[in-house]
Structure 1
Amino acid sequence: MHWLYLAIAVVFEITVAIAAGKAAGFRNIPWTIATLISGGIGTYFLSLALLTFDVGVGYAIWTSVAGVGIVLLGAALFHQRLTWGKAFGIAIIIGGVVGLQLTGAA
């Protein structure tokens, strides 16, 4: 169940990033509300996942997987450039997450 909680937390963290980008420095009230609510929900599910995961490992997986998702969605939905350097960085992040899991993260 902890992996499901972590996956839900990742989805909401990605939502936070997208909503914060649309919030225009918190001047756009609907997007600001979406940012804050998504952040709260994501943090709640992260806290549930951290009942099983070591805090450092769970947080590292949460932020890194969400970061990869944000970069990929930025490229797919907002036409942001996905360069070879970014792709290499994503590969390194995925390698790190796999390494954490192989060490018995949960």
Structure 2
Amino acid sequence: MHLLYLAVAVVFEITVAIAASKAEGFTNRRWTLITLVSGAIATFFLSKALLTFDVGVGYALWTSVAGVGITVLGALLFSQRLDWRKGLGIAVVITGVVGLQLSGAA
């Protein structure tokens, strides 16, 4: 169940990043509200996941998987550039996440 909580937290953290980019410095009320509500939901589910994960491992997984998701979605949805350096960074992050999972930390 902890992986499901973490997955939900990641989805809402990705939503936070996308909504925050559209909130125009919190001047756009609709996107500001989406940012804040998504952030609260992401934090709630992260806290549920951290009942099982070590805090450092859980937080590292949450931020790194969300970061990869945001980078990939930025390229797919917003025509942001995804070059070989970003691809290499994503590969390194994924390797780190797999390493954390294989360490038996969860």
Q: TM-score, normalised by structure 2?
A: 0.99
1:60 aligned partner, one-letter code: A
1:45 and 1:51 map into 2 onto residues whose CA distance is: 10
Q: CA shift at 1:105, angstroms?
A: 1.8
Q: Which runs of 5+ in 1 are unaligned?
A: none
Q: Deviations over 1:49-87 (max 9, x none)?
A: 000000000000000000000000000000000010000
SS in 2 for 1:52: coil
What is the match of residue 16 of structure 1? 16
Task: Identify the residue that residue 34 of structure 1 maps to in structure 2.
Answer: 34
Count of residues in correspondence between the two structures: 106
Provide Cα deviations, 1:14-51, integer angstroms capped at 9, x if missing partner: 00000000000000000000000000000000000000
Q: Counterpart of 2:72? A: 72
CA displacement, residues 76-103 of structure 1 (integer Å, 9 cap, x when unaligned): 0000000100000000000000000010
Q: Which segments of 5 or more consecutive residues in structure 2 lack a partner in the other structure? A: none
CA distance in 2 between counterparts of 1:54 and 1:3 reads: 13
1:61 equivalent in structure 2: 61
Alignment-derived partner of residue 51 in structure 2: 51
TM-score, normalising length from structure 1?
Answer: 0.99
Moved over 6 A (4+): none
Task: Output the CA distance in 1 between the equivalents of 2:82 and 2:96.
Answer: 20
> Once the two structures are aligned, what percentage of the paired residues are identical?
75
2:89 partner letter: G
Distance 1:80 1:44 in 2: 30
Alignment RMSD: 0.3
